[in-house]
């Protein structure tokens, strides 16, 4: 037996599992950065639906923590430094203006995107921050600077996150730092009160799960929900809107919504006033309409309305028989569509179709106007989509007009 090999007795001692009776452990209550929402020393997953400002919400949290501002529900939080790891967003033109608008204390905001390679004799170089390789550096920054909140936005863009997840949980416990990992959802949940978010190891490991989703009562507003809260009782739902000040987006908090009304909207036939207006308008139209026509008739904001039309289509309330056109799911005009309307994009100039003119317009003037518009648009190859949508709209109108005459 050589000197560098442990004896059989020592080997058995090294392989014995470390066990500790629970009676030897003191009972402790969880501590919170944001009471009942973001615990200290644990992971929190922040999911955000499209258009709900996931990154903006994280910057709002950073502003509250660094400046000691009240949290959205009026509670206070621990004040201290915040560390941001944003692989995608630019610091100068994106994060810095939004942090300033939110009232953050900038000298308490730290960022970590790249790590310098300290190789003796080599030219200076750096590599993107990696959880699997730079976790020791991350812990030294957290302990050395007294960081109380770490935001990884989004965590999936940081190399090595899957392999380092168990070590990250232990790091949070050792440093007592609140770690928020953000994730952007591909689509909004159909029922925000009972969401089915994509499965992930982070969702399993997180001790709190926050969700940003559109408000079904008014889709210009968003909701902050807590689908997973194993450390506390169910929480109230918070509501907010994203506005701009001098071109910079900010979060404006609104009165808390009525949960019973939200439950009815999510599970019953009741729809928001905006959706009702859109469905009523399309039901009364003989043909599918463009996005601009729908939103102009319902007096709805274009950007928010465009997203709502997409969500209504995903929910099966609307149908898009041709690119850029919408109608209700059971509208009679859908019977006039054929497979040839879904032909591929044209590769050469497309002739202008001759269709019946509407009342008050001459056929010649309409055709000349359409020809000019098409020739102007066809000068740019990237506008084939717009040309095709216009042609399909005219063809649909012609078919419907023919059926009505018969």
Q: Which of 154, 201, 208 is nearest to 181 (CA)?
A: 154
3-state secondary structure of 303: helix
CATH number (1.10.10.10, 3.40.50.720, 1.10.357.10, 1.10.3210.10) of 271-337 reads 1.10.10.10
Q: Which residue has the higher pLDDT, 404 or 268?
A: 404
Structure-model confidence comparison of residues 162 and 233, the more confident one: 162
Q: Please, is 78 exposed, middle or buried when counting C-beta atoms within 10 Å of its C-beta (0-12, 13-18, 19+)? A: middle
Predicted local confidence at residue 362, as pLDDT: 45
pLDDT computed for residue 262 by the predictor? 63
* % of the chain with per-residue pLDDT over 70: 74
- Among 142-146, 219-223, 228-232, which range has the highest average pLDDT? 142-146
Helix, coil or strand: residue 209: strand
Q: Is the pLDDT of residue 18 over 50?
A: yes
pLDDT band at 355 (very low <50, low <70, confident <90, very high): very low
The predicted structure's pLDDT at residue 243: 93
Distance between CA atoms of residues 165 and 21, nearest Å = 26
Q: Determine the pLDDT at residue 365.
A: 46
- Strands 208-214 and 43-48, by their bridges, are parallel
Instruction: Please compute the mean of the pLDDT values over residues 29-54 and round it to a whole number.
Output: 93
| pLDDT for residue 145 | 95
Q: Give the per-residue pLDDT at 176.
A: 96
This prediction's pTM: 0.65
Superfamily of segment(s) 32-117+124-264: P-loop containing nucleotide triphosphate hydrolases (3.40.50.300)
| Nearest-angstrom CA–CA distance, 218 and 116 | 48
**pLDDT score, position 171:** 96
Residue 345 has pLDDT above 60, yes or no: no
Q: Which residues of 86-110 are buried (b: 16+ CB within 10 A; e: fewer)?
A: bbeeeeeeebbebbebbebbeebbb
Q: Mean pLDDT over residues 30-51, rounded?
A: 94
The residues facing 43 across adjacent strands are 179
* Residue labelled with tokens 């500790």: 20
Give the Cβ contact number of residue 62 at 10 Å.
25
Confidence of residue 356 (pLDDT cuts 50, 70, 90): very low
- What pLDDT is attached to residue 279? 85
pLDDT tens sequence across 83-106: 999 998 889 999 999 999 999 999
> How confident is the model over 265-282, as pLDDT tens digits?
554 444 567 777 888 888
pLDDT of 354 higher than 70: no
* pLDDT tens digits along 212-229: 998 877 778 899 999 887
Long-range contacts (CB closer than 8 Å, 24 or more residues apart) made by 340-344: 341/392, 341/395, 341/396
For residue 211, pLDDT over 50 is answered with: yes
Pairing of strands 248-254, 109-111: unpaired
Residues 100-119 have a mean pLDDT of: 91
Strand order in the sheet with 289-290: 289-290, 325-328, 318-319
Locate the domains of the chain by residue range. 32-117+124-264, 271-337, 343-406
pLDDT for the residue numbered 333: 85
- Alpha-carbon torsion, ordered 392, 397, 401, 404, to 10 deg: 100
Q: What is the mean pLDDT of residues 150-172?
A: 95
């Amino acid at each position: 037996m050589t000197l560098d090999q442990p004896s059989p007795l020592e080997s058995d001692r090294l392989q014995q599992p470390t066990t500790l009776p629970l009676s030897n452990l003191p009972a402790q209550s969880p501590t919170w950065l944001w009471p009942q929402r973001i615990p200290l020393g644990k992971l929190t997953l922040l999911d955000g639906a499209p258009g709900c400002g996931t990154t903006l919400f994280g910057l709002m949290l950073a502003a509250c923590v660094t400046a000691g501002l009240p949290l959205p529900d009026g509670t206070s939080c621990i004040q201290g430094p915040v560390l941001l790891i944003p692989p995608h967003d630019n610091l100068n033109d994106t994060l810095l203006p939004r942090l300033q608008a939110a009232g953050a204390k900038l000298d308490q905001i730290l960022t970590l995107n790249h790590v310098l390679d300290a190789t003796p004799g080599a030219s200076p170089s750096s590599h993107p921050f990696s959880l699997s390789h730079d976790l020791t550096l991350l812990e030294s920054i957290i302990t050395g600077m007294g960081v109380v909140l770490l935001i990884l936005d989004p965590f999936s863009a940081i190399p090595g996150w899957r392999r380092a997840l168990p070590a990250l949980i232990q790091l949070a416990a050792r440093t007592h730092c609140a770690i928020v990992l953000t994730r952007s959802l591909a689509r909004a949940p159909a029922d925000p009160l009972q969401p089915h978010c994509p499965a992930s190891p982070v969702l399993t490991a997180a001790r709190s799960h926050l969700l940003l989703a559109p408000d079904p009562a008014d889709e210009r507003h968003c909701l902050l929900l807590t689908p997973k809260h194993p450390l506390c009782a169910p929480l109230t739902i918070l509501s907010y809107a994203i506005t701009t000040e001098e071109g910079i987006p900010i979060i404006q908090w609104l009165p808390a919504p009525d949960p019973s009304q939200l439950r009815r909207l999510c599970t019953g036939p009741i729809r928001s006033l905006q959706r009702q207006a859109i469905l009523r308008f399309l039901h009364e139209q003989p043909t599918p309409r463009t996005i601009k026509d729908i939103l102009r008739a319902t007096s709805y904001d274009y950007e928010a309305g465009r997203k709502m039309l997409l969500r209504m289509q995903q929910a099966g309330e609307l149908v898009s028989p041709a690119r850029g056109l919408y109608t209700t799911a059971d509208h009679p005009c859908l019977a006039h569509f054929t497979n040839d309307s879904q032909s591929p994009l044209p590769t050469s100039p497309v002739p202008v179709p001759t269709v019946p003119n509407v009342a008050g317009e001459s056929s010649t003037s309409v055709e000349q106007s359409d020809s000019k518009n098409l020739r102007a648009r066809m000068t740019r190859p990237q506008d084939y989509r717009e040309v095709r949508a216009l042609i399909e709209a005219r063809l649909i109108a012609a078919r419907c007009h023919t059926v009505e005459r018969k």
